[in-house]
Amino acid sequence: MKFPRVLIIGGGFGGLYAARQFRDTLTEVTLVDRSNHHTFQPLLYQVATATLAPSDIAAPLRWLLRKQKNTEVLMAEVERIDPERRVAVLDSGRELPYDYLILAAGARHSYFGHAEWEAIAPGLKSIEDALEIRRRFLSAFEEAEKSTDESERNAYLTFVIIGGGATGVELAGMLPTIARHTLRGEFRNIDTATARVILLEGGPRILPTFAEDLAAHAERDLRELGVDVRTRTMVTSVEPNAVCIGDERIVARTVLWAAGNAASPLGRLLGPTVPLDRAGRVVVQPDLSVPAHPEIFVVGDLAVMTTDGKVVPGVAQGAIQSGRASARNILRVIHGETPKPFRYHNKGELATIGRYKAIADFGHGLHVAGHPAWWFWLFLHILYLAGFRNRLSVLIEWGYAFFRYGLGARLITRRS
Amino acid sequence: MKFPRVLIIGGGFGGLYAARQFRDTLTEVTLVDRSNHHTFQPLLYQVATATLAPSDIAAPLRWLLRKQKNTEVLMAEVERIDPERRVAVLDSGRELPYDYLILAAGARHSYFGHAEWEAIAPGLKSIEDALEIRRRFLSAFEEAEKSTDESERNAYLTFVIIGGGATGVELAGMLPTIARHTLRGEFRNIDTATARVILLEGGPRILPTFAEDLAAHAERDLRELGVDVRTRTMVTSVEPNAVCIGDERIVARTVLWAAGNAASPLGRLLGPTVPLDRAGRVVVQPDLSVPAHPEIFVVGDLAVMTTDGKVVPGVAQGAIQSGRASARNILRVIHGETPKPFRYHNKGELATIGRYKAIADFGHGLHVAGHPAWWFWLFLHILYLAGFRNRLSVLIEWGYAFFRYGLGARLITRRS
């Protein structure tokens, strides 16, 4: 007997949690991702800042799905989708036919039409991105130590982060503590505590998706750490050695990008009947399928989804819940039932500020900030790393970072 | 008052242990290395085979030397040495003057005049090398899983290791267990247990530096693991898809190089008075200095050193002991004493075969093989990782690998 073939493109939160719903069902599932691992994205900033090792927050997709004998994992790039013939075409030219498709290809960075900024200001979406940021961040101190020129030294000790969302805030919060505590005492020619961290946000306040009081709390915490937080600040140009804001030129050798997202180009391949928003995201129907193709579902960061008229935020929970919901709807259709509209349940939003503070927005006006929120964050993330075998080693790294101001993964690996 | 300036080039075992001798002495020490970390080389093969994470076996040099306030660490490439003017020139053009120089720049691979083989068959000396091997080794199984062509699939499931010294044997021993136990059950289209591992050695036996009975024991253990061990086998050509031995062509997509060493080119820069051997290593005087330059010392893999007429082997202990001895001799000269000839103390040689076996040669005919040797190996390596803070996390990874056949760091990271 031939079972319905489900193809899942993308092994992030959306794709992985969709795949897991098909365990012990009468389906044939194929999950395709360009990398061999699932990445726990909310902790990427800790890899970028050398606190955790890549393998602490990433695990092979085929290991995570090893017990689902009806599921195969292919490490490949999807080049095209043909919705009429119901096939996806891999980079090798091989065609993967499907009966149902879940597109969970996520998002990359958007440089708002300035593609040339990407090489100067890398963003943070993958393990490779995190390693590139770690390389630049650690190398900056090494170059400063070597430099015999005062202004060059200052340029190496200036770190600009563009974008005041959760990623920007989390990156900005880590750097001052590392510069003042971890690295201090190891350099002979520079005082690492003089490093400047500048966080630039175009909008009126940082953390726009959080409640205003929490964002204000976070901004205060960042300022206490020494971060120069500047809101309503539009970057006009990013150069190899500087960031320009109108007439002002901030000389800095390390610039990180946390400002904008652009959906995966795969959304465009679904054909002219499928509506996209300005960022290239697919505007899905209430049941997460796309118009004219009830067999195609789009989830996670690649989808524009709404609940009670509000757009679902591009966070891990949104991807996890929509991934699961799309799989359940496919199973409903297979069993001759009607798919159900997706409803997002906001379990709260979290962001850390530096090493020991956080803000938590549980909705319904329940706001927590400072150390209690950080302990909650710690508890939650250890819980969520459950599918991974690395919990214990993450705990050790964090314990080390917490009690000794140490960093577990301070390696500069050259590009090969 | 101006203290004598000691310049150490290289942060491997030789350079690091030399630097540590200058703690609390009236000297100004500079250690230069092209990377920011010291690598515990004897465990590199475990990173290459995805068992340990890079940060488990590497730590920042400036962190390791943070308590020596008279020591600065520079991450830089040395381009030239001018023994007459007593300066080393960095890639930036900056000159580092010295009163005493310790050259501990180590070795890279030698492809015996076939530089074009390097891209096909990478060697294993640095963290980057290990990551490249890990990438190829894990990707081979991914490609085999995707392939729809039988002969291509077999080519991806064939692993050739060229060179039967300790590195070759340790790499070859890890692969069968991983293929048969760890990966099995995670693939749907291939049986990973059918992977072939072929170890090629040009000489009459593997592990030529070990006693004959131990090498024979190791060969038996390798064969039991399923490794195809071939001695007296000279590779005549390495192609992208095959290794040729005369007329025989072994079709294989993954070829690893563990066959030959070439000394760092820095040895040649010491001038015409300094004798080199065929591999480019510096033939040092008994006190480890070089002829006509009593202020220049060469240690570790870059040096040809002898004790009782026997050449000191290119192992970690040789580098550690010669590094320390060179530093002590410099301190003697500074104090108006005569430098002492270096004597190598053979503390024994160790190699693991697969996950739970090893051979140990303690000299004086004291030979241990099998599981007892492996437990000794484990004990010793945990002890030696002491300078590192990663002991606990290495223990966890090993425990995981031992009891669950798991692998802690199975990430394929793309080249950036």
pLDDT tens readout for residues A267-282? 998 988 899 998 899 9
The CATH 3.50.50.100 domain(s) of chain B lie at: 115-259
Task: Reduce the secondary structure of chain A to three states and give it as a string.
Answer: CCCCEEEEECCCHHHHHHHHCCCCCCCEEEEEECCCEEECHHHHHHHHCCCCCHHHCEEEHHHHCCCCCCEEEEECCEEEEECCCCEEEECCCCEEECCEEEECCCEEECCCCCHHHCCCCCCCCCHHHHHHHHHHHHHHHHHHHHCCCHHHHHHHCEEEEECCCHHHHHHHHHHHHHHHHHCCCCCCCCCHHHCEEEEECCCCCCCCCCCHHHHHHHHHHHHHCCCEEECCCCCCEEECCEEEECCEEEECCEEEECCCEEECHHHHHHCCCCCECCCCCEECCCCCEECCEEEEEECHHHEECEECCEECCCCHHHHHHHHHHHHHHHHHHHCCCCCCCCCCCCCCEEEEECCCEEEEECCCCCEEEEHHHHHHHHHHHHHHHHHCCCHHHHHHHHHHHHHHCCCCCCCCCCCC
CA A300 to CA A15: how far, in whole Å? 8
Q: Flag whether residue A72 sits within 8 Å of chain B, measured between CB atoms.
A: yes
- Closest Cα to residue A363, out of A209, A141, A201? A209
Residue type, A77: E
Name the pLDDT band for A416 (thresholds 50, 70, 90).
Answer: very low
With vertex at residue A89, the alpha carbon angle to CA A84 and CA A95, rounded to the nearest 5 degrees, is: 85
More confident residue, A43 or B408: A43
Q: Where in chain A is the domain with CATH 3.50.50.100?
A: 115-259+348-404
Mark yes or no for CB contact B132/A416 under 8 Å. Answer: yes
Cβ count near B56 (within 10 Å): 29
Distance from first CA to last CA of chain A, Å, rounded? 48
Q: Which residues of B are less than 8 Å from A75 in CB distance?
A: 139, 142, 145-146, 412
Residues of chain A neighbouring B189 (CB-CB closer than 8 A): 72
Fold of A115-259+348-404: FAD/NAD(P)-binding domain (3.50.50)
CATH topology of domain A5-109+261-334: FAD/NAD(P)-binding domain (3.50.50)
Do residues B95 and B244 lie in contact, with contact meaning Cβ atoms separated by under 8 Å? no
CB contacts under 8 A, B 306-365 vs A, are none
Q: Give the pLDDT confidence score for residue B397 in this predicted structure.
A: 66
Average pLDDT over residues A397-412: 66
For chain B, residues classed under CATH 3.50.50.60 are: 5-109+261-334
Amino acid at residue number B54: P
- Mean pLDDT across A99-109: 95
pLDDT at A153: 97
CA pair distance B229, B105, nearest whole angstrom: 33
Residue B169 and residue B199 in contact, taking contact as beta carbons nearer than 8 Å: yes
- Whole-number percent of chain A with pLDDT over 90: 74
Mean residue pLDDT of chain A comes to 91
Nearest alpha carbon to residue A162 among A133, A182, A194: A133
Residue B358 · residue B374 · CB < 8 Å: yes
**pLDDT score recorded for residue A80:** 94
Per DSSP, the three-state class of B333 is helix
d(CA B317, CA B346): 8
What are B138's two structure tokens? Answer: 């894990």
Cβ of B87: how many Cβ atoms within 10 Å? 16
The answer to whether A397 and A182 are in contact (CB under 8 A) is: no
Rounded to the nearest angstrom, the gap between the alpha carbon of residue B108 and the centroid of all alpha carbons in its chain is: 9
Q: Domain B115-259 falls in which CATH fold?
A: FAD/NAD(P)-binding domain (3.50.50)
How confident is the model over A177-187, as pLDDT tens digits?
889 988 988 99
Closest CA in chain A for residue B416 = A415
Q: What are the tens digits of pLDDT across the range B68-107?
A: 999 999 999 999 999 999 999 999 999 999 999 999 999 9
Test B55 with A142 for CB contact under 8 angstroms.
Answer: no
Amino acid letter, B75: M
pLDDT bin (cut points 50, 70, 90) of residue A389 is low
Mean of pLDDT values over A391-399? 66
What pLDDT digit, counting tens, does each position of A133-180 carry? 999 999 999 999 999 999 999 999 999 999 999 999 999 999 998 899
**Three-state SS at B71:** strand
CB atoms within 10 A of CB B313: 15
Please list the residues that pair with A310 across neighbouring strands. A307
Backbone angles phi, psi at B283, to 5 degrees: -85, 105
Nearest to B408 among A55, A69, A127 (CB): A55
DSSP element (H, E) containing B217 = helix B212-224
The residues with which A100 forms a beta bridge, in sequence order, are A6
Q: What pLDDT score does B390 carry?
A: 56
Q: Compute how many other C-beta atoms are within 10 angstroms of the C-beta atom of residue B282.
A: 27
Q: What is the mean pLDDT of residues A7-12?
A: 98
CA A359 to chain centroid:
18
Q: Is the CB of B146 inside 8 Å of chain A's CB atoms?
A: yes
Q: Which residue has the tokens 């050193």?
A: B305
Residue A208 is predicted with a pLDDT of 92
**Cβ atoms A31, A52 nearer than 8 A:** no
Residue A115 tokens read as 């593609």
pLDDT of B412 reads 75
Contact B72 A188 (CB under 8 A): yes
Q: Dihedral angle at the C-alpha atoms of A211, A217, A219, A223, nearest 10 degrees?
A: 180
Interface of B with A in 234-293 (CB under 8 A): none
What confidence score (pLDDT) does residue B394 get? 66
Q: Residues of B with CB below 8 A from A414's CB?
A: 35, 128
Tell me which chain B residues have a C-beta less than 8 angstroms from the C-beta of A74. 142, 145-146
Q: In which residue ranges of chain B is pLDDT below 70?
A: 1, 386-408, 414-416
The set of residues, in sequence order, having a beta carbon less than 8 Å from that of A399 and lying 6+ positions away, is: none
Q: Kindly report the nearest CA distance between residue A344 and chain B, in angstroms.
A: 32
Q: Whole-angstrom Cα distance, residue B400 to residue B416?
A: 30
CA A157, CA A212: separation in Å to the nearest integer? 31
Test A62 with B406 for CB contact under 8 angstroms: no
A317-370 tens-digit pLDDT: 999 999 999 999 999 999 999 999 999 998 888 899 988 899 998 877 889 998
Question: What is the rounded distance in angstroms from the CA atom of residue B301 to the CA atom of residue B314?
Answer: 5
| Mean pLDDT on A9-27 | 97
